[in-house]
A and B are shown apart, each in its own frame.
Chain A
Amino acid sequence: MSHERIVIIGGGHAAAQLAASLRSEGWTGPVSLVSAEPSLPYHRPPLSKTYLAGAQHSDEILIRPAHFYANANIDTMLGVRVTAINRAEKYITLHNGARLPYQKLALVTGAVVRKIAISGAWLDGVLYLREMEDAERIREYAAPGKRAVILGGGYTGLETAASLRKLGMEVTVVEASSRVLQRVTAPEVSEFYTRIHQEEGVEILTGSAPASINGKSQVESVTLQNGQRISADLVICGIGVLPADSLAEDAGLKVDNGICVDEFARTSDPDIVAAGDCTTHYNPFYDRTLRLESVQNATDQAKAAAKTLCGKLEPYKSLPWFWSDQYDAKLQIAGLSQGYDSVVIRGDHREARSFAAFYFQNEKLIAVDAINRSKEYLMARRWLSEGRTPAPERLADESIPVQELML
């Protein structure tokens, strides 16, 4: 068994965790980490936050330093794309045609950005944000007084807007739906983020889809479907990501909006596990199959996958959590709010920069968005983990301290 090779395909949070967990779980055989990116696995969230704003060096966002992989005897193959998986003969093919044999395979391929399909999308200065190189390219365009148009008012788009504003750019966010963060938050939270971005000098245009991006070779402007034209030195498309599951699909693994895995992170091939943004899996807290794009999911599912590979089956069952930093607003999210039927606000979302939104479904607490409210966040995380629901009217009452809300 100790001579069996485990190959990890991918180079994000899940890859780094899987590699580390394989060793801590006692795997002594060879481990290869094959990543298309030229860098060792790094923290992805700072790309739209502190790293984009220039506050961190690339070495400072590495999940683990180079010597960690060397000491753990993890063979890192960086800048190497995998083109195919041959499951019958158990090898993968690399972009240079070379073959790498495996006994067990871990797919931690993450997600790829959704490309915008309008005219002018090919112009210089039309960029996406997913990888470290993307952030570096954006930084080359970023300069005080220059104009950035961000297409998409999701978390990535808004965080990018905040970071570019910090760099002194004039920023406009264009969102097709009627409010920012429409897919993931309550109207009160959307209203809050619209307000603070406006207070910081960012223009937010909702209900506005882009019709074309204009320029000769370099982007010059964006035209919206209502005819409005916004001049732009830089356009960033933040319109979501898609699971990177084509390698798995081509290899005949079961795929359905992501690579299908069971609670032990096993794919439809017993010798192949998968973890992170690329998987679709069952979540026991919400009793449904879902796909998550988060650090929490990548690391926790990778741990389960590593245990499975080491023959210690332990189901992945974690409460999802997320965070987002924009200006001085630290958002911490516990649980999933999709499907909520009522919301309780604790604090003042209209004037202040500190409140929590508690989401309920059939009178059961299902999630919280906590802005500069770490106590509420951690308390709610505990309640959600334990399946408990405090009384909504108590949550709304700020005279009751957080630790007494459940009494």
Chain B
Amino acid sequence: MPVVEFHSKNGATRRVHVAAGTSVMQAAVNEGIEEILAQCGGACACGTCHVFIDDAWLGELDAASDNEKDMIEFVDGAAPNSRLSCQIRVTDELDGLVVHLPESQG
């Protein structure tokens, strides 16, 4: 099972085993990672599952949809490596993915 590493602002790191096909958002929620709110449950509607993808992994992900691009351009604290974690599906190729969490979701 692929592993995703969640790095919190306070320095804590959580390594989570995630079934392929699960979204990074769902993996975080299932694990009780508080920095991810995901109020809309993955509909790409709320912008509260914002994460920063480690630069080393940025090129490995599928490109964001236009809708997601519009959202991440305007979420609080947006950066070039911002993504909405509900839109990223974990695959075997993403084993070891490193995700940096914001302090809070806007």
A72 touches B41 (CB 8 A): no
B46 touches A375 (CB 8 A): no
The docked-state distance in angstroms from the alpha carbon of A45 to that of B43 is: 9
The docked-state distance in angstroms from the alpha carbon of A45 to that of B40 is: 8
A20 beta carbon closer than 8 Å to chain B: yes
B74 touches A20 (CB 8 A): no
- If A68-B30, A295-B40 are given as contacts, then 4 extra A-B residue pairs at C-beta distance below 8 Å, sorted by A number, are A296-B39, A296-B46, A374-B71, A378-B75
A24 touches B34 (CB 8 A): yes
- Residues of A13-43 contacting chain B, CB below 8 A: 20, 24, 43
Number of A interface residues at 8 Å Cβ cutoff, please give it: 31
> B52-90 vs A: 1/0 string, CB under 8 Å?
000000000000000100110111000000000000000
Taking CB atoms, residues of chain A closer than 8 Å to B44 are 330
B20 beta carbon closer than 8 Å to chain A: no
B29 beta carbon closer than 8 Å to chain A: yes
Taking CB atoms, residues of chain B closer than 8 Å to A375 are 70, 73-74
In the assembled complex, the CB of A3 is this many whole angstroms from the nearest CB of chain B, namely 24
Checking B29, B32, B43, B74 against A323 with a beta-carbon cut-off of 8 angstroms, the contacting residue is B43
Q: DSSP majority for the B interface?
A: loop
In the assembled complex, the CB of B42 is this many whole angstroms from the nearest CB of chain A, namely 8
Taking CB atoms, residues of chain A closer than 8 Å to B1 are none
Taking CB atoms, residues of chain A closer than 8 Å to B30 are 64-65, 67-68
> A55-92 vs B: 1/0 string, CB under 8 Å?
00000010111011001100000000000000000000
B47 beta carbon closer than 8 Å to chain A: yes
The docked-state distance in angstroms from the alpha carbon of A203 to that of B43 is: 27
A374 touches B67 (CB 8 A): yes
In the assembled complex, the CB of A72 is this many whole angstroms from the nearest CB of chain B, namely 7
- Residues of A353-407 contacting chain B, CB below 8 A: 372-375, 378-379, 382, 402-403
Taking CB atoms, residues of chain B closer than 8 Å to A43 are 41
The docked-state distance in angstroms from the alpha carbon of A188 to that of B78 is: 32
- Would you give 25 A-B contacts (Cβ < 8 Å), ordered by A? A45-B41, A45-B43, A49-B43, A61-B41, A63-B41, A64-B32, A71-B32, A72-B32, A295-B40, A299-B37, A299-B39, A323-B43, A323-B46, A330-B45, A372-B67, A374-B47, A374-B70, A374-B74, A375-B73, A375-B74, A378-B47, A378-B71, A378-B74, A382-B74, A403-B74
Interface residues in chain A, defined as those with a beta carbon under 8 Å from any beta carbon in chain B: 20, 24, 43, 45-46, 49, 61, 63-65, 67-68, 71-72, 295-296, 299, 321, 323, 325, 330, 332, 372-375, 378-379, 382, 402-403
In the assembled complex, the CB of B31 is this many whole angstroms from the nearest CB of chain A, namely 8
Taking CB atoms, residues of chain B closer than 8 Å to A64 are 29-30, 32
Taking CB atoms, residues of chain A closer than 8 Å to B29 are 63-64
A323: nearest chain-B partner, CB-CB: B45
A303: nearest chain-B partner, CB-CB: B37
B68: nearest chain-A partner, CB-CB: A374
A321 touches B74 (CB 8 A): no
The docked-state distance in angstroms from the alpha carbon of A372 to that of B66 is: 10
In the assembled complex, the CB of A16 is this many whole angstroms from the nearest CB of chain B, namely 10
Taking CB atoms, residues of chain A closer than 8 Å to B74 are 374-375, 378-379, 382, 402-403
Taking CB atoms, residues of chain A closer than 8 Å to B40 are 45, 295, 323
Taking CB atoms, residues of chain B closer than 8 Å to A296 are 39, 46
Taking CB atoms, residues of chain A closer than 8 Å to B32 are 20, 64, 68, 71-72
Taking CB atoms, residues of chain B closer than 8 Å to A45 are 40-41, 43
Among B37, B74, B75, residue most surrounded by chain A Cβ atoms (within 10 Å):
B74
Among A49, A63, A332, residue most surrounded by chain B Cβ atoms (within 10 Å):
A332
- Residues of B20-40 contacting chain A, CB below 8 A: 29-30, 32, 34, 37, 39-40
In the assembled complex, the CB of B100 is this many whole angstroms from the nearest CB of chain A, namely 20
The docked-state distance in angstroms from the alpha carbon of A296 to that of B46 is: 9
